[in-house]
């Protein structure tokens, strides 16, 4: 056995602060952060457009929540802020404005929100605190022609906060489910699949009433939610557990009416995309006139 590779306990303790500093503060290309901003911003644009159809009923001064008379103005402000966030115009301010609108609407009528909306508020907060407009934005375009296609190095602590938030979300979801007898005995999902008014596409009764399929769906849900917080930190296992998570949430969205819940969770997965992968993906959309600028990492 090669003892030279074994660290003395004191040396290992001294290495911990350096590892912690690298994890949170070692500069990385801002390609992943730019992709997260675009995905979250675009999602909020779609979300605000859908919400606007029932805005007066949910938040108007004559609606079910008896909101303030100026509440309808928040609908327009929310949409404008979401568009600005997507294109990266005053990115931090745009994220802060959208977050403020969402918080006000939550106080007016907390009954129309779900777990995905709570995750969205955290995503907006972290974007408001981060250099979200450092790349692929109108903010970065002001640095000069083609500069928006460069991905300057910045500390990734905001992305780490998103990653931690996602992991904690699954920890809380998994532990709370274990408290329910229906989850432990493997029948919980079968009850949900038989609530007709909440179904988007009805599952065949041969599946929704099957004890075997109930066990498969229920325990596989628990398995995915337990595995993501543990295995998502390893680059080798990360794609597999996130793929399982994506499959879980897409199946939820396909079968149940859960609003934008699944899509907000999937948007948070972007924080786990390696910078080099995000950079290669984003540069595919770079106009030909900027292709001579070389790699986008600066």
pLDDT, tens digit, 9 for 90 and up, residues 234-249: 999 999 999 999 999 9
Is there a single domain that holds both residue 72 and residue 171?
A: no
pLDDT at 1: 44
Is there a single domain that holds both residue 66 and residue 144?
A: yes
Is there a single domain that holds both residue 209 and residue 108?
A: no
| Contacts (Cβ under 8 Å, ≥6 apart) of 219 | 186
In the Cβ-directed half-sphere of 175, how many Cα atoms lie within 13 Å? 7
Residue 60 lies in a domain: yes
pLDDT at 292: 59
| Token pair of 14 as six digits | 């001294």
Is there a single domain that holds both residue 151 and residue 283?
A: yes
CA angle 94, 75, 250 (to 5 degrees): 80
Residue 265 lies in a domain: no
For residue 55, give the nearest of 105, 120, 16, 100 by alpha carbon: 105
Its pTM stands at 0.88
Given a cut of 60, whether residue 118 has pLDDT beyond it is: yes
CA distance 144 to 58: 44
Mean pLDDT, residues 129-135: 95
Proportion of the chain above pLDDT 70, given as a percent: 89
Please give the tally of structural domains in the chain. Answer: 2
Mean pLDDT, residues 91-115: 89
Is there a single domain that holds both residue 81 and residue 142?
A: yes
CA distance 232 to 238: 4
Is there a single domain that holds both residue 43 and residue 151?
A: yes
Residue 57 lies in a domain: yes
Is there a single domain that holds both residue 144 and residue 57?
A: yes
For residue 31, give the nearest of 176, 194, 151, 155 by alpha carbon: 151
Is there a single domain that holds both residue 283 and residue 142?
A: yes
Given a cut of 80, whether residue 85 has pLDDT beyond it is: yes
Cα separation values, 182 from 120, 189, 192, 218, Å: 29, 8, 11, 9
pLDDT at 287: 86
Q: What is the dihedral of CA 41, 46, 50, 52, to 10 degrees?
A: 50
Segment 194-231, tens digit of pLDDT: 877 777 877 888 888 899 999 999 999 999 999 999 99
Is there a single domain that holds both residue 248 and residue 284?
A: no
What rounded mean pLDDT belongs to the chain? 88
Any idea what DSSP says for residue 202? P
Is there a single domain that holds both residue 121 and residue 43?
A: yes
CA distance 90 to 238: 33
Domain that holds residue 82: 28-155+273-290
CA distance 105 to 191: 31
Please tell me which residue, 193 or 289, carries the higher pLDDT value.
Answer: 193
Is there a single domain that holds both residue 62 and residue 137?
A: yes
* Helices and strands: H and E segment counts in the chain: 15, 2
For residue 44, give the nearest of 74, 82, 77 by alpha carbon: 82
Residue 7 lies in a domain: no
Is there a single domain that holds both residue 53 and residue 150?
A: yes
Longest Cα separation, the chain: 76
């Amino acid at each position: 056995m090669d003892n030279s590779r074994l660290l003395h306990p004191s040396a290992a303790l001294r290495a911990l602060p350096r590892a912690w500093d690298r994890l949170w503060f070692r500069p990385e290309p801002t390609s992943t952060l730019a992709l997260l901003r675009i995905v979250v911003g675009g999602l909020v644009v779609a979300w605000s457009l859908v919400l606007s159809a029932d805005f007066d009923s949910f938040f108007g001064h004559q609606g079910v929540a008896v909101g303030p008379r100026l509440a309808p103005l928040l609908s327009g402000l929310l949409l404008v802020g979401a568009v600005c966030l997507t294109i990266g115009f005053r990115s931090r301010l745009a994220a802060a404005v959208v977050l403020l609108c969402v918080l006000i609407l939550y106080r007016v009528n907390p009954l129309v929100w779900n777990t995905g909306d709570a995750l969205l508020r955290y995503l907006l907060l972290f974007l408001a605190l981060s250099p979200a407009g450092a790349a692929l934005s109108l903010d970065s375009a002001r640095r000069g022609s083609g500069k928006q296609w460069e991905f300057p190095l910045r500390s990734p602590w905001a992305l780490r906060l998103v990653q931690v938030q996602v992991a904690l979300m699954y920890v809380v979801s998994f532990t709370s489910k274990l408290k329910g007898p229906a989850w432990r005995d493997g029948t919980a999902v079968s009850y949900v699949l038989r609530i007709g008014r909440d179904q988007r596409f009805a599952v065949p009764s041969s599946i929704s009433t099957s004890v075997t399929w109930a066990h498969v769906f229920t325990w596989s849900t628990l398995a995915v939610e337990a595995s993501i917080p543990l295995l998502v930190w390893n680059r080798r296992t990360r794609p597999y557990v996130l793929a399982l998570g994506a499959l879980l949430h897409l199946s939820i969205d396909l079968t149940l009416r859960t609003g934008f819940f699944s899509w907000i969770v999937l948007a948070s997965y972007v924080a786990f995309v390696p910078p080099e992968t995000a950079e290669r993906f984003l540069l595919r959309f770079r106009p030909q006139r900027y292709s001579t600028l070389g790699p986008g990492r600066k």
